[in-house]
């Protein structure tokens, strides 16, 4: 039996050719259909040059398993989430490798209600069936159907329901960098809604056209080297905010009016506060990497902060358990109860744009106080071969001095005026470090130097 290494902890991702090809995509479709026995599934794909062929092979596998397939065409992952819960069907699959290199592709799978299918919620079962490849002969009478549909209007209607266009009274300029990914067609439709409402908002589009060759590089604004084009456009056009997406636009990254990148951590606090004004006492989910600002904001706004392990499957599960109104990860994943507890890259920037309009403050003004109160390192990645050993060494060095410790995700040690989280990557030989302090940037920089020196010495 052939092992399929494209099956990861939360989704499917692999190098094109041996790890992921049309035959494997077909087998994944057959396996999904055999395991869940869905009546109807929605499929879509990002702009990568191989996504269409992989999607059609996947669709054939699903149909041969007796499943009817609805194809929404080129789409972002959240459009699959939306179509699944909006149409009330049995699941959805997006063919995407998000921000992975050109020679990769993958899939994100959900079941009814857009619930994620990951390692312990069905992905291993799908993997087992796909690897065995022992499928019955196709029954032509029971074979599923195929239909191309669009949910774009309904999806954009849903997005616009999070804001009130009447709040946009003053002129506003937004730079929007789609990174030649899948976001452009949605941005065009949102722009039309602003125009129809006579809202004085200008959209300055950068790398807007979908192009699977990614002529301007793979869109991953989490990497500093991928931010320059957005920053330059904000400066050139004197924009009020810059917005940049990754390839399947499930994450958006924001830049203030000075073209400065804003860590996703502070956006979590900003959105949490906004939601708590709408629903007093609501629960807000956050991850363990950086926490103090979120806890402080949520508590002062009368909400209840709830920590969850990092990762979309864990966050979504906890969101449902707690019926939380909103959840945010510092990595720019934002989750919304009214979006079937799923993550969206479109809803956050719409909400922040509305905050700019309503508060009459710039984005830098809205986050400055929080950045000063809880300065952070952002996530620093170290390529290492002995991550577990280094974690053990640093744990031993600092554990006796800390006030509290938790092991929800890696290790988090809390001291009186600083804390850190250290964890391994699920997918790469990386050690990920986050440090924050209580208002002490000098201490933050010294700690960062200290940790970097120790890690590099091993």
Q: Supply the residues annotated as catalytic.
A: 98
- Rounded to whole angstroms, the Cα distance separating 152 from 211 reads 20
Helix, strand or coil, per DSSP, at residue 242: strand
Cα separation of 220 and 244, whole Å?
9
Q: Which residues pair with 284 in a beta bridge?
A: 305, 326
List C-alpha distances in Å: 332 to 61, 180, 217.
Answer: 34, 19, 20
Q: Residue 256 has what DSSP assignment?
A: -
226: nearest Cα among 328, 78, 332: 332
Instruction: Give yes or no for a contact between 104 and 76, defined as CB atoms under 8 angstroms apart.
Output: no
According to DSSP, the β-strands at 326-328 and 283-286 are: parallel
**DSSP code string of 357-368:** HHH---HHHHHH
Structure tokens, 207? 């790398």
CB atoms within 10 A of CB 300: 10
DSSP line for 382-420: EE-S-HHHHHHHHHHHHGGG-SEEE-SSSEEEE-SSEEE
Q: What is the dihedral of CA 10, 13, 14, 19, to 10 degrees?
A: 70
Cα 158 from chain centroid (whole Å): 18
CA 141, distance to chain mean position in Å, is: 40
Q: Are 330 and 434 in contact (CB under 8 A)?
A: yes
Beta bridge partners of 110: 92, 116
Task: Match 């009447």 to its residue by tokens.
Answer: 166
Angstrom distance (rounded) from CA 107 to CA 307: 27
Closest CA to 241 of 297, 178, 295, 176: 176
């Amino acid at each position: 039996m052939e092992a399929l290494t494209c099956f990861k902890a939360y989704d499917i991702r692999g190098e094109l050719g041996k790890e992921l090809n049309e035959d494997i995509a077909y087998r994944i479709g057959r396996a999904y259909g055999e395991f869940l026995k869905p009546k109807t599934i929605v499929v879509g794909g990002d702009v990568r040059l191989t996504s269409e062929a992989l999607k059609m092979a996947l669709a054939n596998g699903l149909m041969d398993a007796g499943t009817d397939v609805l194809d929404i065409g080129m789409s972002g992952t959240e459009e699959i989430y939306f179509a699944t819960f909006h149409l009330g069907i049995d699941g959805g699959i997006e063919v995407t490798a998000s921000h992975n290199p050109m020679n990769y592709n993958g899939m994100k799978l959900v079941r009814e209600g857009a619930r994620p299918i990951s390692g312990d919620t069905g992905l291993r079962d799908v993997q087992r069936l796909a690897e065995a490849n022992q499928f019955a002969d196709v029954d032509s009478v029971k074979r599923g159907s195929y239909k191309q549909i669009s949910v774009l209007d309904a999806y954009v209607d849903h997005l616009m329901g999070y804001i009130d266009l009447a709040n946009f009274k003053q002129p506003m300029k937004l730079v929007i960098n789609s990174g030649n990914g899948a976001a452009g067609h949605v941005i065009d439709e949102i722009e039309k809604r602003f125009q129809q409402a006579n809202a004085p908002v200008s959209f300055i589009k950068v790398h807007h056209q979908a192009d699977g060759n990614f002529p301007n590089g793979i869109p991953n604004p989490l990497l500093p080297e991928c931010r320059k084009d957005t920053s330059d456009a904000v400066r050139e056009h004197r924009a009020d905010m810059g917005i940049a997406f990754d390839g399947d636009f499930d994450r958006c990254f924001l830049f203030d009016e000075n073209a400065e990148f804003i860590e996703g951590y502070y956006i979590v606090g900003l959105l949490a506060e906004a939601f708590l004004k709408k629903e007093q006492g609501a629960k807000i989910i956050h991850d363990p990497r950086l926490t103090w600002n979120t806890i402080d904001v949520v508590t002062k706004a009368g909400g209840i902060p709830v920590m969850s392990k990092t990762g979309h499957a864990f966050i979504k599960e906890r969101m449902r358990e707690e019926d939380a109104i909103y959840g945010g990860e510092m990595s720019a994943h934002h989750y919304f109860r009214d979006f079937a507890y799923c993550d969206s890259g479109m809803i956050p920037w719409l909400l922040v744009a509305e905050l700019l309009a309503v508060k009459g403050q710039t984005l830098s003004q809205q986050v400055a106080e929080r950045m000063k109160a809880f300065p952070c390192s952002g996530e620093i990645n170290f390529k290492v071969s002995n991550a577990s050993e280094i974690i053990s060494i640093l744990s031993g060095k600092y554990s006796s001095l800390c006030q509290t410790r938790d092991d929800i995700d890696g290790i988090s040690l809390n001291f009186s005026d600083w804390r850190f989280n250290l964890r391994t990557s699920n997918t790469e030989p990386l050690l990920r470090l986050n440090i924050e302090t209580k208002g002490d940037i000098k201490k933050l920089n010294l700690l960062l130097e200290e940790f970097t020196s120790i890690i590099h010495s091993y």
